[in-house]
Amino acid sequence: MIRFENVTKVYDQKARPALDSINLEIDRGEFAFLVGASGSGKSTFLRLVLKEDRASSGAVYVAGQNVANISSWRVPRLRRGIGVVFQDFRLLPQKTVFANVAFAMQVIGKSRSVIRDTVPEVLKTVGLEGKENRLPHELSGGEQQRVAIARAVVNRPGILLADEPTGNLDPTTSMGIMGVLDKINQNGTTVVMATHDDDIVNEMRKRVVELKNGVVIRDEAKALYTSMIPVVGQSRRLRDASGRDEPPVVPPRAGSRAEARAEVRLAGEGQA
């Protein structure tokens, strides 16, 4: 469903790439977690799938199609096949729950009767029956995220991308949201979820893809948030395999201080 072939994304020539020769395949109907620290390339990955950005090199395939070959006026059609959920919900504050979900159908020209039939059905799927006429500020965070999920899946996309959907929610509410995402996944939608939430990843036991500094350092089925495999060694092996002999001189762009230290340590090992 989503395939990355040797994908590199460079935002700034002077800094290290946001994604560095990524090879990854996510099958139809799969549920995959994308984990890693801030700046590890999770969001860049999602942006490339949506064709919000172009890969600097390599090919991104979505539903069998190389997104680089999709002309700009066909990009909307690509995006109709992909639902997206964000940490900050992004609901329209002056529209009711029903109107927020219906909006996604209106703008692609669905008829009023189809909207009237579909929206309540989807709201039921995410567990919001009876709250059609509420405004977003009258809902809890978890309920708002359910509205956002309903909006993302109302047009029945084949893929659902979730960028830290539980980042603003407490653990119990987060588990509820995960239940909704799991249900959507059971209905055949491919779900890719970028997250920091270790509890959720450990609870779900799904495929985990771990990114670090733009490189995939782990890709395990039914895995945990942290791995038993020593990460640093793995990282270096992948680095060597990617044919890059010079260690990066510039610290990671958006990285924390701890990350920068890790980078320096890695660089030291590379020279040794």
Partner 1 sequence: MRLAFVLSEIGSGLRRNLSMVISVILVTFVSLIFVGAAGMLQLQINQMKGYWYDKVQVAIFLCSDGSTATGCATGPATPEQEDNLRKLLQSPAVAQYVNDFQYESKDDAYKHFKEQFSNSPIVDSVTPDQLPASFRINMKDPEKYEIISETFSSQAGVETVIDQRQLLERLFSAMNAASLVAVSIAGVMIICAILLIATTIRLSAFSRRRETGIMRLVGASKMVIQLPFILEGVIAAVIGAALASGTLWAVAHFFLGEVMSKQYPDTAFISPGQTLILAPALIGLGVVLAGISSLLTLRRYLRV
- Which stretches of the chain bind partner 1, using CB under 8 A? 50, 72-73, 75-84, 90, 92, 103-104, 106-112, 151-152, 155
- Residue with Cβ nearer partner 1 (105 or 128): 105
Q: From the CB of 108, what's the least distance to partner 1, in Å?
A: 6
User: 141-153 and 97-106 helices cross at what angle (nearest 10)?
Assistant: 20
- Separation between Cα atoms, residue 88 and residue 113, nearest integer Å: 30
- Residue with Cβ nearer partner 1 (81 or 247): 81
- Residue with Cβ nearer partner 1 (72 or 271): 72
- Residue with Cβ nearer partner 1 (78 or 135): 78
Residue length of the chain: 272
Q: From the CB of 249, what's the least distance to partner 1, in Å?
A: 34
- Residue with Cβ nearer partner 1 (75 or 175): 75
Q: From the CB of 66, what's the least distance to partner 1, in Å?
A: 18
The answer to whether 40 touches 214, Cβ cutoff 8 Å, is: yes
- Residue with Cβ nearer partner 1 (61 or 103): 103
The answer to whether 62 touches 159, Cβ cutoff 8 Å, is: yes
Q: From the CB of 110, what's the least distance to partner 1, in Å?
A: 7
Which segments of the chain does DSSP mark as H helices, in order?
42-49, 75-80, 97-106, 112-125, 141-153, 171-186, 198-204, 231-241, 257-271
Q: From the CB of 160, what's the least distance to partner 1, in Å?
A: 12
Q: If DSSP codes are grouped into helix, strand and coil, which group holds residue 25?
A: strand
- Separation between Cα atoms, residue 115 and residue 199, nearest integer Å: 36
- Separation between Cα atoms, residue 47 and residue 54, nearest integer Å: 9
Q: From the CB of 31, what's the least distance to partner 1, in Å?
A: 21
- In terms of C-beta density within 10 A (0-12 exposed, 13-18 middle, 19 or more buried), how is residue 114 classed? exposed
